[in-house]
Amino acid sequence: MATGILKVDGEKVVDEKGATVVLRGAGIGGWMNMENFITGYPGHEHEHRAAMLKVLGKEKYEYFFDKWLEYYFTEQDAKFFASLGLNCIRIPFNYRHFEDDMNPRVLKEDGFKHLDRVIELCANEKIYTILDMHTVPGGQNPDWHSDNATNQAQFWDFKDHQDRTIWLWEQIAKRYKGNPWIAGYNPINEPCDPEHWRLPAFYDRIEPAIRKIDPNHILWLDGNTFAMEWKFFDKILPNCVYALHDYSMMGFPTGDRFKGTEEQCTKLERQFKRKAEFMTKNKTPIWNGEFGPVYANPRLDADAEAINTERYNLLSQQLSVYDKYQIHWSIWLYKDIGVQGMVYTNPESAWNRLIQTFLDKKRGLQLDAWGKYPSKEAEEVLDPLVHWIDKVSPTAKDTYPGPWATERHVLRAVFQTFLSKSFAAEFAELFKGKSMEELDALAHSFHYDECLQREGLNKAMSSHAKVHGEKQSIVMSKEDEDTSMEMEQGQ
């Protein structure tokens, strides 16, 4: 039994009896908010689904995606997760499960089918859930994980997008108020407001709207610029935990390799402390809502074992920093096709065998941002274009989000938006003519019984699942405050 709904008490999260609860776990991954690198399709979820509908037809389309959502997370997944000592799963979802753009403010009841199921499965294993609207109307950031095919975060420019988001959270709050195994609501993931002030202004609107319906659940509020900045945040809202995301470039193929040097370890801690400065100054709890390396593939990297050992060491070093300050954390992610997940599909599964050739093509064209590999073919096109843009427009590199620089902006707008969309039909054609039985087998590739476990990752997480020792206070030095916001988002 849960001991009441969790709440914020100063710098702690406590249960109904006042006992401290530290939430540690993972984001479930690209389940109710699909992501290209997690399951293999190109581009954006709504484009992928539209292409699949065209190829499969309505009956097979609905059957396949329903079975996929079912198999992705079952009782076995919940029991495995709990066996590691982890106590919280963050559940990202796309607003399109619950509302259509062409039929706004009309709730789609069937969208709750699998969300209700997984919340209950987790509760049965004493796992809290945090509900995370990863994709909001209009797109809160310009990236693929907000299912935003325009490369423009239009959420900030149209009040109706914001009003619809508040309306949907009101419906969600009506449904889940009083549920003690829901640790709270994460209203908007990785917002990117170029003007910065509109994010805290939105929080000032959505907090009382949710509280009017559900006065008790915690709100978990991301900072701006992919949860890394706090400009114009001048106060704290009641019963709220503020969230940072703490990816390190050393965990990605294009970053420096982690050797555990004093300089690298110091850099990790300084980056965390800079992102946590707002929470430190205001004495609030700290939640790291996303972090974690991607992992080398033995098919692609001759020294994959050595690279992954370094990535596990990097992760362990980050977890040691979080232990030092006894923060809440949620690694990214639980399940995928072998890029980053704690659990991942077998390379010999029906799913992986079907899409492997397409994955190789995607990698060569750098259609995915996450875990991007060097590619001579892509870079021969990209590098001269970036050089030319920087020459004719020296300020282009400063375009918000600032950490991206020109190369990331061009990759996002051209390769990962325009070009990737043109491959949606090709990916969907892989499923053409599949029978119901074959579609079931493909979806079942994501079932726990067929998946593999990333033992080094899971061992590190399990060993840091519980809080030990005395909490240390974060003390900001001038070096911490001056730490630049490099591309810590892992891209």
The tens-digit pLDDT sequence of the chain (491 residues) is: 567 899 999 999 999 999 999 999 999 999 999 999 999 999 999 999 999 999 999 999 999 999 999 999 999 999 999 999 999 999 999 999 999 999 999 999 999 999 999 999 999 999 999 999 999 999 999 999 999 999 899 999 999 999 999 999 999 999 999 999 999 999 999 999 999 999 999 999 999 999 999 999 999 999 999 999 999 999 999 999 999 999 999 999 989 999 999 999 999 999 999 999 999 999 999 999 999 999 999 999 999 999 999 999 999 999 999 999 999 999 999 999 999 999 999 999 999 999 999 999 999 999 999 988 899 999 999 999 999 999 999 999 999 998 789 999 999 999 999 999 999 999 999 999 999 999 999 999 999 999 999 999 999 999 999 987 777 777 766 665 555 555 455 44
What is the C-alpha separation between 98 and 109, in angstroms, rounded? Answer: 7
According to DSSP, the residues that pair with 290 across neighbouring strands are: 245
Q: What share of the chain is helix, strand, coil (3-state, %, to 5)?
A: 50, 15, 40
**Chain mean position to CA 386:** 28
Measuring CA to CA, which residue among 328, 340, 484, 467 is closest to residue 403? 484
Give buried/exposed letters for 348-375 (b at 16+ CB in 10 A, else e).
Answer: ebbbbebbeebbeebbebbbbbbbbbee
What is the C-alpha separation between 279 and 237, in angstroms, rounded? Answer: 12
Q: Are 487 and 249 in contact (CB under 8 A)?
A: yes
Measuring CA to CA, which residue among 407, 450, 326, 436 is closest to residue 12? 326
What is the pLDDT, as a whole number, of residue 403?
76
What is the C-alpha separation between 118 and 169, in angstroms, rounded? Answer: 19
What is the pLDDT, as a whole number, of residue 371?
84
Q: What string of DSSP letters covers 151-167? A: SS-GGGT-HHHHHHHHH
Measuring CA to CA, which residue among 232, 325, 228, 227 is closest to residue 283? 325
Q: What is the pTM of this model?
A: 0.96
Q: Which residues have C-beta within 8 Å of that of residue 259, sequence separation ≥ 6?
A: 310
Computed on alpha carbons and rounded to an integer, the radius of gyration of the chain in Å comes to 21
Give buried/exposed letters for 7-36 (b at 16+ CB in 10 A, else e).
Answer: bbeebbbbbeeeeebbbbbbbbbbbbbbbb
What's the token pair of residue 160? Answer: 């109706």
Q: What string of DSSP letters covers 110-162? A: GGGHHHHHHHHHHHHTT-EEEEEEEE-TT-SSSSGGGT-TTSS-GGGT-HHHH
**Chain mean position to CA 307:** 23
Phi first, then psi: give them for residue 296, nearest 5 degrees. Answer: -70, 150
Would you call 302 exposed, middle or buried from its count of C-beta atoms within 10 A (0-12, 13-18, 19+)? Answer: exposed
Q: Which amino acid is at 368?
A: D
Q: Are 329 and 227 in contact (CB under 8 A)?
A: no
Q: Are 245 and 288 in contact (CB under 8 A)?
A: yes
Q: Are 189 and 131 in contact (CB under 8 A)?
A: no
Residue showing tokens 């977890």: 319
What is the C-alpha separation between 491 and 486, in angstroms, rounded? Answer: 10
Q: What positions carry a catalytic annotation?
A: 190, 290
Query: Which residues of 246-284 form beta strands (DSSP E)?
Result: none
What is the C-alpha separation between 246 and 287, in angstroms, rounded? Answer: 10
Measuring CA to CA, which residue among 249, 159, 379, 71 is closest to residue 387? 379
What is the C-alpha separation between 382 and 387, in angstroms, rounded? Answer: 9
Pairing of strands 343-344, 335-336: parallel
Q: Are 22 and 86 in contact (CB under 8 A)?
A: no
